[in-house]
Amino acid sequence: MNPRRRLGIFTLALALLGAGVACSNDAPETKAAEADAGPVTIQIGTADDDPDSPGGIAIMKLVELVRSGSDGNLLLYPVWQASGPESVEWDQKIARMVKEKQLGMGMVPARAWDTEGVSTFRALNAPFLVTSDALADRIVTSSDLATELMSGLEKAGVMGLTLLPESPRHTFGFRHALVRVEDYHLQTIRTPHSLLNEATLRALGGKPVDVTDSTFVQGVQDASMAGVESGFLLARGFPAPSTAAGNVIFNEKVNTLVINPEVYAELSEANRTVLQDSVKALQVWVLANRTTETANAVAFCNLGGKIVTASAADLTALTKAVQPVYADLAKDAKAQSQIERIRTLKQSIQVPAQDLASPCP
């Protein structure tokens, strides 16, 4: 029912944590003393509703890495659907909860931060720029570029730990495919709240909206909602069959893993090292184990979805339509520099077959 998560919502009760406690760390500095005092616990929040979602799988792997690396002295507890079951601005709510220490850590898509005063991810989410997992992987593993992208998070009151690519994003049409610029004209399209994403859809002539799950479902049922911006794997939760253009890729969803600076400072040196090492290992694991675009597209087709291909002329027209967005981005010298660096990386990459979505009837 929800394009960012599955039907069948359930939440994890955190019986070991008191309400509102983001981190507990009263133990001495030594590992042995920490063990005697009991483990340090941190809540990590996400808008995803269960551990089977792409982000949820990554979080559960981090839970395992941290527990193992600390011999149980540092424990992470996921808070699923921390922004609430009927929510708008679900990503931003997670970000604010980490800033306000209602959560110790959080997983927040990079796209969301531009509403929170962070401009350093704008190049990453520029329309039709990052169009493959291979390019996204190269960006997040380029240490200087990744560090620069995360540098703005401090302004939002959080500390960036790592970047985790998830999957390419497309628009899915419920009445017709959103392939040509004309297909977007005055069409209402659900998109997670992001200033840049919304500007992109408006440049194409669409009407972006951030609505609750129930409003989205009602809109699809009464035909007032023409489409949704999402990924193939998340489309299993759509309330009706849809059609996507497999070669129209708006950007790549990249998750940021963040921590409240005070929570991080309260950790012992040993636990900070464990967390840092675990986060590095997590990125390596995610890049090696996440499902491919091809596999996600096949799963989408098997569930009754349809994938079509935009023509070269269609792609050219879409790119031309979003030039006002790039004109605005060019006013930010840092964003413009990052865009040029990403374009250079893109030219050096040969996109593997597993990054491509084939049409299906």
DSSP secondary structure string for all residues of 106-172: EEEEGGGGGGGT--TTTTTT-TTT--SHHHHHHHHT-HHHHHHHHGGGGGGT-EEEEEEEEEEEEEE
Task: Please report which helix (H) or strand (E) contains residue 270, including its range.
Answer: helix 269-289
> 240 lies in a domain?
yes
**What pLDDT is attached to residue 37?**
66
**What pLDDT is attached to residue 35?**
46
Cα distance between residue 299 and residue 288, in whole Å: 19
> 269 lies in a domain?
yes
**What pLDDT is attached to residue 36?**
52
Cα distance between residue 44 and residue 24, in whole Å: 13
We report the CATH number of the domain holding residue 67 as 3.40.190.170
The DSSP code for 304 is T
The residue to which tokens 């007032």 are assigned: 224
> 92 lies in a domain?
yes
> 329 lies in a domain?
yes
> 15 lies in a domain?
no
**What pLDDT is attached to residue 117?**
96
Backbone φ/ψ region at 185: left (φ over 0), alpha (ψ -120 to 50), beta: beta
> 3 lies in a domain?
no
**What pLDDT is attached to residue 22?**
53
Total domains in the chain come to 1
> 232 lies in a domain?
yes
Torsion angles phi and psi, residue 109, rounded to 5? -60, 140
> 9 lies in a domain?
no
Which residue stretches of the chain have pLDDT < 50? 1-21, 24-35
Domain that holds residue 122: 23-355
**What pLDDT is attached to residue 361?**
84
The residue to which tokens 């929040």 are assigned: 45
